[in-house]
A and B are shown apart, each in its own frame.
Chain A
Amino acid sequence: MKVCSKTGFPDFPKTESLMKKQPLRTGAVACLLFLAMTACATPQASTPPPPPQESAGDRAETLDSPRVLQPGAPGEPSQSVEVSQLANQAHRPHTPADVEFMQGMIPHHAQALDMAALVEERTQNRDIHLLAKRIEISQRDEIELMGRWLAHRGEDVPGEHAHHMMGDHLMPGMLTEADMAELAAGHDSEFDRLFLEHMIRHHEGAIVMVKALFASPGAGQETDMFTFASHVEADQLIEIRRMKEMLDNRR
């Protein structure tokens, strides 16, 4: 498994994380779980003392009583786990920074589509056409994915041109209206150069957004979020490098 691109996402509440349970005293069987069982005995101050240390031999006979445990760091004891609550808790609750990233990246990607749409009528150069096609396909897939991620979490899904702003400033790398007009007015080699320069800047902006995401406390913790953001970074870094080469070849 490498990246996330078309997976559905679950609905789940924005809950607080499950706190670790109290340490399990050595050898104690704190959480003997039966397959069909949903409840789990958690050691509490009020519970009776644990049974004496159990030998491996005893355990061999408890084959039908599997247990779920959470090991500690090296040298630390294991802990019991409230298994019935894990399903909710192991989805890391998403943060405002996660939502902002997804909500911001949709119009950010959408602007790349707008730029790519200019290519058809403004240049004959095959490599630019292929680049635009590639950008169009990957970013459309990702816009869909981001929309699904937000919708499943009950968050607003911005329209592709809802806003291009992050707070009161333009999101990193995005073209101003004047930039877009300049690009739209270009033709042939002039257009190619502008397209590459603007798209490099645009992609670099996405990298900035990924860095900002991971620089936000608690963000990027969800499996889905982590894989998607990692993918955006890896993918766009490759494209930036290729575009810089294309640009160099034109100088």
Chain B
Amino acid sequence: MFARVQTFRIPGFYPFALFAAAALLCSPVKVTGQVAAQDTTFVWDASDPRVGLAPGWHDAGSAIKNLELVGKLPRPEGFVDPEFPGAFPFANTDLAFQGDLVFVGNFNGFQVFDISDPEEPKFRVGVVCPGGQGDVSVYGDLLFTSVEEARGRNDCGIEGVQDTVSAERFRGVRIFDISNIEEPKQVALVQTCRGSHTHTLVTSPNDEENVWIYVSGAAGVRSPSELEGCIREGPEEDPNTARFRIEVIRVPLNAPETAAVVTEPRIFSDPETGEIAGLWRGGNHGEGTQGTAVTDHCHDITVFPELGLAAGACSGNGILLDISDPENPTRIEEVSDPNFAYWHSATFSNDGSKVVFTDEWGGGTAPRCRATDPPTWGADAIFELADGELTLAGYYKLPVPQESTENCVAHNGSLVPVPGRDIKAQAWYQGGLSVFDFTDPANPEEIAFFDRGPLDEAQLMLGGYWSTYWFDGYIYGAEIARGLDIFELVASEHLSENEIAAAKLAQYGEFNTQAQTRVTWPAAVPVARSYLDQMGRNQGIDPVRANAVETVLGQIETGGAEGLETQLVELAEALDGDARAIEQAAEKGDARRLRLLATTLREMAGQ
């Protein structure tokens, strides 16, 4: 989208990330990454307003494009250190949504904000319950949070746990009853060996009585004297190791207090040899490649129950799981990438034909978006998914460099539900929010952004967006240091008014980013016009046909005329015919969107 006026040539060899030499050839993992020559050149627009923003906490300089910051609230007292904006124990983390409420996780607990008016968010209740990271998910009256640190306590106390082995320590998943939002109560505590770095809410289309939590534990294994069976030694020393697995918690909805770990699937095992540590063992992939972490845990898992699939971002690998039996997820695919340091999170496209994996190179606390950092490192890798196989198509990284005082790398994001396109709103820590289109996975393109200057002029302080997620018409950002920000998209040459209006028609009601559901849109005029706008951009439709559709849509908008249903159906048939001609290579155009438009017109006609 930007004029490429400035280039910074990066040599093709990156000595700072090299690990031990000999490539690991023993791994069965399919290595998919390719470092094309052009990938090593970081190109950006020198006039990009994100370059050179003034530092500050609540007074930093900012740059915005094709977005409007409509509402914001700083972190409330109890979730901030007024003396130190980058204090880790008060960092804001992930987001979950329900109705008029947004839940903002924090290393010190969680905050609840009322967003009935997104332009004026209100702090509703703060729950102090430390332990990091405070990842949150919500389901009905239940709220789930992740605890991984050694200071976590059963009673939410802030005094930590002094004893090295203690019945008071809590590391795992807390379950809160939020039926009275003014007074959330813990109803269950499910302890795990490594605690819960993140977790994923899992539902099953075949079971309405239970939900499940997949626990991703990334930290050290605690003592078996504290929790039975917690074996920290690797699989070579002890086949019962608490590493190289996830935990599955079953939560009976009518008795959540009985929630417990039901399985500990060895999802990294080698199906042929049965070896528990069957995937990436850590190390580089040959000269000039990234050193990739060992696959002994998942960092995050995103489930898509309607597809029966989960995408796991599992430290050293990206994997796919068959979750048709939620208690026994089975690995069906694994990929590796010589550009990835740490597989961090995953997002399916709405039709399940793509998966965006993120690489949290540097762990999120390091500056990894500098002009000298390769654009394929610390980036998103976009894979196409067909017949259970992942194929790398392209990379996306924040297209503008950040300062060395800004922690920056690919982080959490969600889909923006524009029909006909794949768009993601993604957090890049102090790199800000970047909204990009990956409909063409080989050529992702930024369409909107917001960025602030560094928290501090001289030193790197932890800050920036942990998560930026779309929910019912707005993009919400959990800023680690600056609080809650709320954005609206603004139309541009990259995104039309109709597309924004159509996205707002997709109402979620309740939303957990790592628990994807298929977004559907009502048969409404903005949806049809979105397809028309998209095909106007790529010359995907005969202009005469487009005019005919627009004429009918205009009539619907102005109150209708006789025989509209018939016209809609006839147009739909004509559009399908156009699509067929394209598919048979007789014509050029956008067959996919022609069919989507035809379906929408039929639905508008009541068919």
Q: List A residues at the B interface (Cβ < 8 Å).
A: 1-8, 10-12, 17-20, 33, 35, 38, 56, 59, 63-64, 66-74, 76, 78, 81, 83-84, 86-87, 89-92, 125-131, 133-134, 137, 141, 210, 214-218, 220-224, 226-227, 229-231, 233-234, 237-239, 241-243, 245-246, 249
Contacts and interface: CB of A to CB of B under 8 A. Distances in A.
Given A5-B363, A226-B150, A86 B459 contact: no
A81 B78 contact: yes
Contact of B18 (A33, A125, A133): A133
Q: Is the interface of B mostly helix, strand, loop or mixed?
A: loop
A73 B122 contact: no
A91 B91 CA distance: 12
17 contacts: A5-B366, A6-B365, A8-B456, A20-B157, A59-B182, A66-B122, A69-B184, A71-B185, A74-B189, A81-B78, A86-B128, A130-B20, A141-B366, A222-B151, A237-B234, A237-B294, A249-B22
Contact of B89 (A223, A230, A242): A223
Contact of B151 (A81, A86, A92): A92
B83 to A, nearest CB: 7
B512 interface: no
Contacts of B91: 1
B108 interface: yes
Given A127-B21, A221-B160, A70 B128 contact: yes
A118 B438 CA distance: 48
Contacts of A64: 122
Contact of B155 (A66, A72, A129): A72
Contacts of A130: 18-21, 284, 287
Given A7-B462, A86-B77, A231-B363, 7 more contacts: A1-B360, A69-B184, A71-B176, A71-B184, A130-B284, A133-B18, A239-B20
A84 B80 CA distance: 10
Interface stretch (B129-137, B245-253, B589-597): B129-137
A69 B77 contact: no
A223 B77 contact: no
B367 A6 contact: yes
Most buried by B among A67, A141, A223: A223
A223 B132 contact: yes
Contact of B107 (A11, A72, A210, A223): A223
A90 B466 CA distance: 21
A72 B109 CA distance: 13
B188 to A, nearest CB: 6
Interface stretch (B161-169, B417-425, B515-523): B161-169
A59 B183 CA distance: 10
B80 A2 contact: no
B293 interface: yes
A3 B287 CA distance: 25
Interface string B158-182: 1111111000000000001000101
A2 B155 contact: no
Given A20-B157, A90-B89, A70 B18 contact: no
B317 interface: no
Contacts of B128: 68-70, 81, 86
B118 interface: no
Contacts of B460: 6-8
A-B residue pairs, 3 tightest by C-beta: A127-B21, A10-B84, A238-B282
B524 interface: no
A221 B364 contact: no
A2 B363 contact: yes
A65 to B, nearest CB: 10
A242 B283 CA distance: 7
A71 B187 CA distance: 10
Interface in B121-144: 122-130, 132-133
Contact of B127 (A33, A70, A127): A70
B391 interface: no
Contact of A214 (B19, B150, B157, B160): B150
Contact of A241 (B77, B185, B282): B282
A214 B166 CA distance: 12
Contacts of A215: 164
Nearest to B151: A221
Contacts of A70: 109, 127-129, 156-158
A70 B125 CA distance: 11
A196 to B, nearest CB: 10
Given A7-B460, A11-B83, A239-B20, A17 B159 contact: yes
Given A8-B459, A70-B128, A220-B150, A87 B80 contact: yes
A86 to B, nearest CB: 5
A8 B456 CA distance: 10
Contacts of B123: 35, 66
Contact of B365 (A5, A63, A221): A5
A86 B155 contact: no
Contacts of A126: 21, 287
Contacts of B283: 238, 242
B20 A86 contact: no
Given A2-B364, A74-B188, A220-B150, A63 B83 contact: no
A90 to B, nearest CB: 5
Contact of B90 (A90, A133, A241, A249): A90
B291 A69 contact: no
B187 A74 contact: yes
Given A220-B150, A242-B19, A74 B186 contact: yes
B184 A83 contact: no
B92 to A, nearest CB: 11
A81 B90 CA distance: 15
B41 interface: no
A237 B217 CA distance: 17
A224 B77 contact: no
B81 interface: yes
Contact of A38 (B77, B89, B129, B284): B77
B93 interface: yes
A67 B220 contact: no
B407 interface: yes
B86 A222 contact: no
Contacts of B407: 6-7
A7 B88 contact: yes
Contacts of A66: 76, 122-126
Nearest to A148: B459
A80 B15 CA distance: 53
B346 to A, nearest CB: 15
A231 B218 CA distance: 10
B397 interface: no
